[in-house]
Structure 1
Amino acid sequence: MEGRYPDLRIRFRPGHVQVVQADVFFPNRRALITGATGLLGRAVYREFKDNNWRVLGCGYSRARPRFEYLNLLDTSAVKEFICEFKPHVIVHCAAERRPDIVENHPESATKLNVEASSNLAKVAAAAGAFLIYISSDYVFDGSNPPYRVDSVPNPLNLYGKTKLEGERVILQNSDNAAVLRVPVLYGDVEKLEESAVTIMFDKVQFSNKSANMDHWQQRFPTYVKDVASVCLQLTERKMQEPSLIKGIYQWSGNEQMTKYEMACAMADAFNLPSSHLRPITDEPVGATPRPWNPRLDCSKLEELGIGQRTPFRVAIRESLWPFLVEKKTRQTVFH
Structure 2
Amino acid sequence: MNVLVTGASGLLGRAIVKEFESHDWNVVGLAFSRSSPKLKKVDLRNPNEVKETIEKYQPSVVIHSAAERRADVVEQCPESVEKLNVFATTFIAQICATKKIPLIFISTNYVFDGKSPPYKPDDKPNPINKYGASKLNGEELTRAAHPGSIVLRVPLLFGPVENINECGGTYLYNYVRYSGNIKSVCHFQQRFPTHVNNVASVLRQMANKLYKGESFNGIFHWSSSEQHTKYTMTVCIAKSLGLSHKHILPRESPDAVTPRPHNVKLDISKTLDLGIQVVEIPFSKGIQECLEPFLSKKE
Question: Structure 2 length as normaliser, TM-score?
Answer: 0.96
Q: Residue in 2 aligned with 1:85?
A: 57
- The yes-or-no answer on 1:290 pairing with 2:260 is yes
Higher relative contact order (CA 8 A, sep 6+): 2
CA distance in 1, matches of 2:254, 2:263: 12
Q: Structure 1 vs Structure 2: percent identity of aligned residues?
A: 43
1:187 corresponds to which of 159, 162, 166: 159
What is the DSSP-based 3-state SS (H/G/I as helix, E as strand, rest coil) of the residue aligned with 2:168? Answer: coil
CA distance in 2, matches of 1:281, 1:42: 35
2:255 maps to a residue whose letter is P
Q: Residue in 2 aligned with 1:266?
A: 237
- The yes-or-no answer on 1:40 pairing with 2:40 is no
Please say if residues 82 and 127 of structure 1, whose CA atoms lie closer than 8 Å, have aligned partners that are also in contact.
no
Q: 1:307 to 1:158 in 2, by over 3 A?
A: farther
Q: Residue in 2 aligned with 1:31?
A: 3
What is the DSSP-based 3-state SS (H/G/I as helix, E as strand, rest coil) of the residue aligned with 1:144? Answer: coil
Unaligned runs of 5+ in 1: 1-28, 328-335
What is the DSSP-based 3-state SS (H/G/I as helix, E as strand, rest coil) of the residue aligned with 2:138? Answer: helix
2:283 corresponds to which of 296, 301, 312: 312
Cα deviation code 1:123-161 (max 9, x no counterpart):
111222211100000000001100000100000011000
Deviation of 1:64 after TM superposition, in Å, equals 2.5
Please say if residues 133 and 180 of structure 1, whose CA atoms lie closer than 8 Å, have aligned partners that are also in contact.
yes
2:214 corresponds to which of 242, 246, 263: 242
Please say if residues 219 and 294 of structure 1, whose CA atoms lie closer than 8 Å, have aligned partners that are also in contact.
yes
1:80 maps to a residue whose letter is E
What is the DSSP-based 3-state SS (H/G/I as helix, E as strand, rest coil) of the residue aligned with 1:176? Answer: coil
Please say if residues 186 and 224 of structure 1, whose CA atoms lie closer than 8 Å, have aligned partners that are also in contact.
yes
Cα deviation code 1:278-317 (max 9, x no counterpart):
11112333x2110000110001011222142111111111
Deviation of 1:325 after TM superposition, in Å, equals 4.0
Instruction: Map 1:1-335 to 2 at 5 A.
Output: 29-243=1-215, 245-285=216-256, 287-308=257-278, 309-325=280-296
Q: 1:122 to 1:266 in 2, by over 3 A?
A: same
2:258 maps to a residue whose letter is T
Cα deviation code 1:162-196 (max 9, x no counterpart):
10010011111113310000000000000111101
Deviation of 1:47 after TM superposition, in Å, equals 0.4
1:146 maps to a residue whose letter is P
Of the two, which has the highest radius of gyration? 1
Unaligned runs of 5+ in 2: none
1:99 maps to a residue whose letter is A
Question: Structure 1 length as normaliser, TM-score?
Answer: 0.86
1:255 maps to a residue whose letter is E
CA distance in 2, matches of 1:277, 1:62: 34
CA distance in 1, matches of 2:229, 2:158: 14
CA distance in 1, matches of 2:123, 2:282: 27
Deviation of 1:33 after TM superposition, in Å, equals 0.5
Deviation of 1:207 after TM superposition, in Å, equals 1.6
CA distance in 1, matches of 2:136, 2:277: 23
What is the DSSP-based 3-state SS (H/G/I as helix, E as strand, rest coil) of the residue aligned with 2:4? Answer: strand
1:321 maps to a residue whose letter is E
Aligned length: 297
CA distance in 2, matches of 1:176, 1:273: 51
Q: Residue in 2 aligned with 1:21?
A: none
